[in-house]
């Protein structure tokens, strides 16, 4: 008995004073830059004993998290770094992995984004806020909001109420559905909600193609084939007013001007087009869009914003200091090459593998298949070869919603693939390890269950049966 007591006391003394074991790594997504943890637990009841230290030398969004015996020290140069340190702490606490140690962390890319298309189907602000919450948890920082397309115009413009009252009618699955759109007050509410989570909101108004909702409200400015009429001078006055309102409404740096998949068909027979081409020194129909893009990009710049445009506009001669190229055409690698060679800052979201409307499993019945037998699975996303070019701002996943109607399907298509995107965009190359990611993802499956999210379960196809709408 006496011997047992003595050995117990000795083991307590040893555990208190012996050098603790050190563990590299922490069960957090995205994986941090470095984590040196001990086997000495930190008492959760001290979680609110946090001291903040301003560390000017740390880069934007970076943080150092010291978990001491009875307090926590967070160093960062900005609020975002502080916020991300807390996201890490939350995940550690949930995983019962709060040990004393030091985590040093910083993002690999400044652009870590997600695009939601609410033109094809409208989900509403509660769904958007849910997505923003999850983006923040995984340290994503750009919410690209596709607010206009053929099927609907979704942002209130005070100068032109008909954009929403007429252009907002319908959606992909029902052209007669009552108008759905965000009022400016609702937009401000969402922007503020995002800002509290260190997420910038970028609106997209897609032109000169994908513009049917706009031309429903302004038939005189349309040219058929889902396009506006670039030869009509009144178009630019209307677009200038819209862009000015958007610039006032959205405090971020960027406005996305679209520019993808434009047909020149409707432009060929337009009265006034001959003169427009002559006046602008153009002799090919393909050059009409280039002219339009330069004019819109100037309007955006005059409103104090930087344009982002899909890489279809790569030959439009846009000013590289006022334009970011958004590369999506995985089948046009030369377009990405050209963007970088011509000095454009570039966002990477090729449809293979970063489009989340493409299915994640060959067994899925609904959704795009990449070619016939190829899917945008978790491993494809995780293994995507990254560019280290200084002009690459970062990565983004896009969800087009022609085939996404319900909230369940929205969650099913986005999670957990967006979590893999987040790790790719944040974690440095040397710390990427797919098997380890899958282990850490187990904690996130538990978390997603706890908030009742209808995610796609890569471990068990039947966990959440595929919602077909």
CB nearer to ligand ACM: pick between 31 and 381: 381
CB nearer to ligand ACM: pick between 133 and 261: 261
C-alpha span between 158 and 181 (Å, rounded): 13
CB under 8 Å to 87, separation ≥6 — which residues?
A: 136, 137, 138, 139
Q: Taking CB positions, which residue lies at the least distance from ligand ACM?
A: 260
CB nearer to ligand ACM: pick between 310 and 458: 310
C-alpha span between 264 and 209 (Å, rounded): 9
> Rounded to 10 degrees, what is the CA torsion of 378, 350, 194, 124?
-90
Size of site (CB under 6 A) for ligand ACM: 4
**Smallest gap, in angstroms, from Cβ of residue 328 to ligand ACM?**
4
CB nearer to ligand ACM: pick between 328 and 454: 328
**Smallest gap, in angstroms, from Cβ of residue 349 to ligand ACM?**
8
Q: How far is CA 401 from the centre of its chain?
A: 15
Q: Residue 98: how many CB atoms within 10 A of its CB?
A: 20
CB nearer to ligand ACM: pick between 328 and 344: 328
**Smallest gap, in angstroms, from Cβ of residue 355 to ligand ACM?**
7
From the list 121, 144, 146, 210, the catalytic residue is 210
**Smallest gap, in angstroms, from Cβ of residue 237 to ligand ACM?**
27
C-alpha span between 417 and 109 (Å, rounded): 18
**Smallest gap, in angstroms, from Cβ of residue 295 to ligand ACM?**
21
CB nearer to ligand ACM: pick between 328 and 437: 328
CB nearer to ligand ACM: pick between 149 and 380: 149
Site for ligand ACM in 55-94 (CB under 6 A): none
Rg over CA atoms, the chain: 25
Site for ligand ACM in 287-306 (CB under 6 A): none
Of 259, 249, 263, 124, the closest CA to residue 205 belongs to 259
Alpha helix segments (H runs only) across 206-266: 212-217, 233-249
Check if 278 is active-site. no
Q: Can residue 310 be called a binding residue for ligand ACM (CB under 6 A)? A: yes
Helix (H) or strand (E) holding 201: strand 200-207
> Residue 306: what are its φ and ψ, rounded to 5°?
-100, 135
Check if 457 is active-site. no
From the list 64, 78, 117, 149, the catalytic residue is 149
CB nearer to ligand ACM: pick between 261 and 341: 261
Burial class from Cβ neighbours inside 10 Å (0-12, 13-18, 19+) for residue 173 reads middle
Residue 370, helix vs strand vs coil = strand
Q: Can residue 328 be called a binding residue for ligand ACM (CB under 6 A)? A: yes
From the list 79, 248, 261, 341, the catalytic residue is 261
Judged by CB under 6 A, the residue of 94, 189, 260, 433 near ligand ACM is 260
**Smallest gap, in angstroms, from Cβ of residue 180 to ligand ACM?**
22
**Smallest gap, in angstroms, from Cβ of residue 433 to ligand ACM?**
31
126-133 own/partner pairs: CB under 8 Å, 24+ apart: 127/407, 127/410, 128/190, 129/190, 129/193, 130/453, 131/414, 132/190, 132/193, 132/194, 132/197, 132/199, 133/197
Check if 334 is active-site. no
Q: How far is CA 3 from the centre of its chain?
A: 62
Classify residue 454 by its DSSP letter. -
Q: How far is CA 22 from the centre of its chain?
A: 35
**Smallest gap, in angstroms, from Cβ of residue 354 to ligand ACM?**
10
> Rounded to 10 degrees, what is the CA torsion of 230, 236, 238, 242?
110
C-alpha span between 438 and 383 (Å, rounded): 13
**Smallest gap, in angstroms, from Cβ of residue 172 to ligand ACM?**
14
Per-residue x/- track, 261-280, ligand ACM (CB under 6 A): x-------------------
Q: Residue 180 in contact with residue 238, Cβ under 8 Å? A: no
Peptide bond into 39 cis (omega under 30): no
Peptide bond into 416 cis (omega under 30): yes
CB nearer to ligand ACM: pick between 61 and 117: 117
Annotated active-site positions, please? Answer: 149, 210, 261
Q: Contact residues for ligand ACM (CB under 6 A)?
A: 260-261, 310, 328
């Amino acid at each position: 008995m006496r011997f047992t007591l003595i050995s117990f006391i000795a083991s307590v003394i040893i555990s208190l004073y012996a050098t603790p074991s050190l563990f590299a790594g922490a069960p957090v997504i995205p994986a941090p830059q470095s984590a040196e943890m001990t086997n000495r637990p930190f008492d959760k009841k001290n979680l609110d004993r946090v001291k903040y230290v301003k560390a000017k030398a740390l880069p934007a969004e970076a943080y150092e998290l010291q978990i001491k015996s009875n307090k926590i020290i967070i160093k960062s140069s900005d609020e975002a770094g502080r916020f991300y340190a807390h996201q890490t702490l939350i995940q550690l606490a949930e995983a019962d992995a709060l040990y004393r140690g030091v985590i040093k962390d910083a993002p690999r890319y400044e652009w870590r984004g997600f695009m939601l298309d609410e033109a094809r189907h409208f989900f509403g602000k509660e769904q958007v806020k849910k997505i923003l919450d999850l983006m923040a948890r995984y340290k994503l920082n750009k919410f690209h909001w596709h607010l206009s397309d053929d099927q609907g115009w979704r942002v209130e413009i005070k100068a032109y109420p008909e954009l929403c009252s007429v252009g907002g009618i319908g959606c992909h699955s029902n052209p007669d559905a009552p108008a759905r759109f965000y009022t400016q007050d609702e937009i401000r509410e969402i922007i503020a909600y995002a800002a509290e989570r260190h997420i910038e909101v970028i609106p997209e108004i897609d032109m000169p193609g994908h513009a049917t909702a706009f031309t429903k409200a302004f038939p005189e400015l349309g040219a058929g084939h889902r396009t506006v009429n670039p030869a009509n001078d009144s178009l630019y006055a209307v677009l200038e007013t819209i862009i000015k309102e958007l610039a006032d409404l959205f405090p971020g740096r960027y406005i996305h001007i679209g520019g993808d998949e434009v047909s020149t068909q409707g432009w060929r027979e337009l009265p006034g087009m001959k003169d427009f081409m002559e006046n602008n020194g153009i002799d090919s129909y393909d050059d009409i869009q280039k002219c339009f893009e330069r004019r819109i990009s100037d309007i955006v710049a005059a409103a104090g914003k930087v344009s982002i445009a899909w890489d279809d506009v790569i030959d439009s001669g846009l000013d590289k200091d006022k334009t970011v190229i958004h590369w999506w055409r995985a089948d046009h690698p030369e377009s990405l090459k050209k963007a970088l060679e011509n000095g454009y800052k570039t966002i990477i979201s090729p449809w293979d593998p970063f489009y989340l409307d493409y299915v994640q499993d060959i067994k899925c019945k609904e959704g795009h298949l990449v070619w016939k037998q190829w899917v945008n699975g978790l491993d494809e996303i995780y293994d995507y070869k990254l560019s280290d070019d200084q002009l690459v701002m970062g990565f983004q996943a896009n969800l087009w919603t022609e085939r996404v109607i319900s909230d369940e399907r929205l969650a099913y298509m986005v999670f957990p693939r967006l979590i893999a995107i987040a790790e790719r965009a944040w974690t440095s190359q040397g710390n990427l390890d797919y098997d380890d990611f899958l282990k850490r993802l187990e904690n996130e499956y538990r978390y997603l269950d706890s908030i009742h999210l209808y995610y796609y379960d890569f471990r068990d196809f039947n966990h959440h049966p595929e919602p077909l709408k």
